[in-house]
Amino acid sequence: MSSAFTKRIVFTAEPKDRPYELRDPQVRGLILRVQPSGHKAWIVTWTHGKRRTSGSVEHLTLDQARDQARQAVAEYVQPGLPALAKSKPTSCTLEVLLWLHSARSHVIHSVKSQVCAPRFVE
């Protein structure tokens, strides 16, 4: 559907025998998913395979869904401090450092043996 989403299009979307999705051409990543049962939900996508359900049509208006979609896509495109604040700081213990040193040595030795191995030509 290439025409812009309107409230009328959202509420008149009829259920079919399979679930289907309508994409909003105005806001990148906003999808209206219509279930065979008639339930309609707003879904926001921001990269391949990454999606989140924002809410149902009964609880979220078209304008609210567009605002949430813009915000979600903006957070993905320009990650900010809130995403960093949510992540846990990692602690680097002696055990981890020793394991990393051992793994690094093993990889370097393996690569050197493959690259520097004598080649015999018959």
- How does pLDDT run across 42-98, given as a tens digit for each residue? 999 877 778 888 889 999 999 999 998 888 877 776 655 455 455 555 667 888 888
Q: Which domain holds residue 34?
A: 7-86
Q: Is 122 within the bounds of a domain?
A: no
Q: Is 22 within the bounds of a domain?
A: yes
Q: Is 34 within the bounds of a domain?
A: yes
pLDDT digits (tens, 9 = 90+) for 5-32: 888 888 899 999 999 999 999 888 899 9
Residues 96-121 have a mean pLDDT of 77
Query: What pLDDT, on the 0 to 100 scale, is given for residue 120?
Result: 64
Q: Is 62 within the bounds of a domain?
A: yes
> Quick check: 1 pLDDT over 50?
no
Q: Is 103 within the bounds of a domain?
A: no
Query: What pLDDT, on the 0 to 100 scale, is given for residue 118?
Result: 66
Are the CB atoms for 73 and 46 separated by under 8 Å? yes
Q: Is 1 within the bounds of a domain?
A: no
Q: How many domains does the chain divide into?
A: 1
Are the CB atoms for 31 and 42 separated by under 8 Å? yes
User: How far apart, in whole angstroms, are the C-alpha atoms of residue 46 and residue 6?
Assistant: 22
Query: What pLDDT, on the 0 to 100 scale, is given for residue 89?
Result: 58
Confidence of residue 110 (pLDDT cuts 50, 70, 90): confident
Are the CB atoms for 73 and 79 separated by under 8 Å? no
Q: Is 74 within the bounds of a domain?
A: yes
What is the CATH number for 25? Answer: 3.30.160.390
Q: Is 18 within the bounds of a domain?
A: yes
Question: Across-strand partners of 15?
Answer: none
